[in-house]
């Protein structure tokens, strides 16, 4: 059985790789240039089962582990990082429902999410609450069998095109510390009072909508309080962000691998002083460092994913993977641009896109500075005297 499952996983990863080569690479330049939401590619991703990758089989998903999922994400990011972002938020919300949801919530949401017809979006950040999640101001007030949500959320990936939003709100304004009074609600698109305030034009990460969502007296049934109990929202959000950070690390590895692949190919074609630039020691040193750092990031990523698969908290490992991989990606994409020289600064090659996409990984799902604080806190706990 295990061998058959492994073969199925490898087949899906290989099919995603072929999909990227056959369907994504020929159209990515035009889609990215026009900041176009890739509806046709998403339809094909649904057919491949990518949106159901980690959803349990009991609810219509493939039930893959996160070690397999990060390989799928890496393949997508090699083709176009934005595609892996559309998938990430969906998988993150599905994981939160599968892990913390009531049985009724799992039965109601997960089969539709597994089909990819309804995709997830995560609503955490606000104008004055980004890394400081406890500073959120959105309030959910109980009224009979419902809650009324009021406030606004920023930086919502899939904010326009998602169908199911996991929304963090305060249900108890008196309790201290504030995180103990937070809860997550599952809000469906089309609920009266929910609207898109604006979308953001970004340096990179094109083709995926990043929006502000406004909640004005949004009425949500108490049956859509994730897990059925108030006060668990912060813990649920942090568990979801572990998945998000693992995903961002996988995106960074995939993007850096794409930059390296292009750079080493170009270095063997471009000639200066009578020989390919790959034969110059200065270029060889760059290529060696790039490949070594990519592989190191990939190993950190797999370690974090393996711990998540064991059902353990992996704040430390996910933080290390996300920190190292995102910083590595920024460095590798810049080195790739340098290898291309002046051509790397033009839109004639993909390197300039890689370089614009890389900074997202430095801030997405928590900045590098926040990752360092998380890592240090866990290290001090482990080595307390």
User: Residue 2: its pLDDT value, please?
Assistant: 56
Return the DSSP state at 134: G
Q: Which of 212, 317, 335, 365 is catalytic?
A: 365
Give the distance, in angstroms, between the CA of residue 351 and the centroid of all CA atoms in the same chain. Answer: 21
How do residues 334-351 score in pLDDT, each as one tens digit? 999 999 999 999 999 999
pLDDT at 3: 61
How many angstroms separate the Cα of 134 from the Cα of each of 64, 124, 258, 371, 382?
32, 10, 37, 17, 25
Query: Tell me, what's the pLDDT at 134?
Result: 84
**Residue 365 bears catalytic tag:** yes
pLDDT tens track for 148-166: 999 999 999 999 999 999 9
Answer whether 2-119 and 235-382 agree in fold.
no
Using a 10 angstrom Cβ sphere, with 0-12 exposed, 13-18 middle and 19 or more buried, the burial of residue 355 is: buried
| Mean pLDDT within 92-121 | 96
**CATH class of this structure's domain 121-231:** mainly beta
SS3 state at 156: strand
Residue 277 has pLDDT above 50, yes or no: yes
The CATH code that applies to domain 2-119 is 1.10.540.10
Instruction: Determine the topology of domain 235-382 in CATH.
Output: Butyryl-CoA Dehydrogenase, subunit A; domain 3 (1.20.140)
pLDDT at 5 over 70: no
Q: Is the pLDDT of residue 100 over 80?
A: yes
Look up the pTM and report it.
0.94
Task: Locate the domains of the chain by residue range.
Answer: 2-119, 121-231, 235-382
């Amino acid at each position: 059985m295990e061998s058959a499952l492994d073969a199925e996983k490898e087949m899906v990863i290989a099919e995603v790789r072929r999909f990227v080569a056959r369907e994504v690479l020929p159209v990515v330049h035009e889609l990215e240039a026009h900041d176009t939401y890739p509806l046709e590619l998403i339809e094909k991703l649904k057919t491949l089962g990518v949106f159901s990758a980690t959803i349990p089989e009991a609810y219509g998903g493939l039930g893959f582990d996160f070690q397999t999922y990060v390989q799928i994400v890496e393949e997508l990011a090699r083709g176009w990082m934005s595609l892996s972002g559309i998938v990430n938020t969906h998988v993150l919300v599905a994981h939160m429902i599968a892990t913390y949801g009531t049985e009724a919530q799992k039965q109601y949401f997960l089969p539709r999410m597994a089909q990819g017809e309804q995709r997830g979006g995560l609503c955490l950040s606000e104008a004055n609450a980004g890394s400081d999640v406890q500073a959120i101001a959105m309030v959910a007030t109980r009224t009979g069998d419902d809650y009324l949500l009021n406030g606004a959320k920023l930086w919502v990936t899939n904010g326009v095109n998602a169908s199911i939003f996991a929304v963090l709100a305060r249900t108890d304004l008196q309790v201290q510390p504030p995180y103990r009074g937070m809860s997550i609600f599952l809000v469906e698109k089309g609920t009266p009072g929910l609207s898109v305030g604006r979308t953001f034009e970004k340096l990179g990460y094109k083709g995926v909508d990043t929006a502000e969502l406004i909640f004005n007296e949004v009425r949500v049934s108490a049956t859509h309080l994730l897990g059925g109990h108030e006060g668990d929202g912060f813990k649920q959000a942090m568990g979801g962000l572990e998945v998000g950070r693992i995903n961002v690390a996988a995106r960074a590895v995939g993007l850096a691998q794409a930059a390296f692949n292009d750079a080493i190919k170009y270095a063997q074609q471009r000639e200066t002083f009578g020989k390919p630039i790959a034969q110059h020691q200065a270029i060889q040193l760059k290529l060696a460092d790039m490949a070594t750092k990519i592989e190191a990031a990939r190993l950190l990523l797999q370690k974090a994913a393996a711990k998540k698969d064991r059902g353990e908290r992996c704040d430390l490992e996910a933080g290390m993977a996300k920190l190292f991989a995102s910083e590595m990606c920024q460095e590798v994409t810049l080195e790739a641009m340098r290898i291309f020289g002046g051509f790397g600064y033009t839109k004639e090659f993909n390197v300039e896109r890689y370089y614009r996409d890389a900074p997202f990984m430095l801030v997405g799902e928590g900045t590098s500075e926040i990752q360092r604080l998380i890592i240090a806190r866990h290290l001090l706990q482990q080595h307390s005297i």
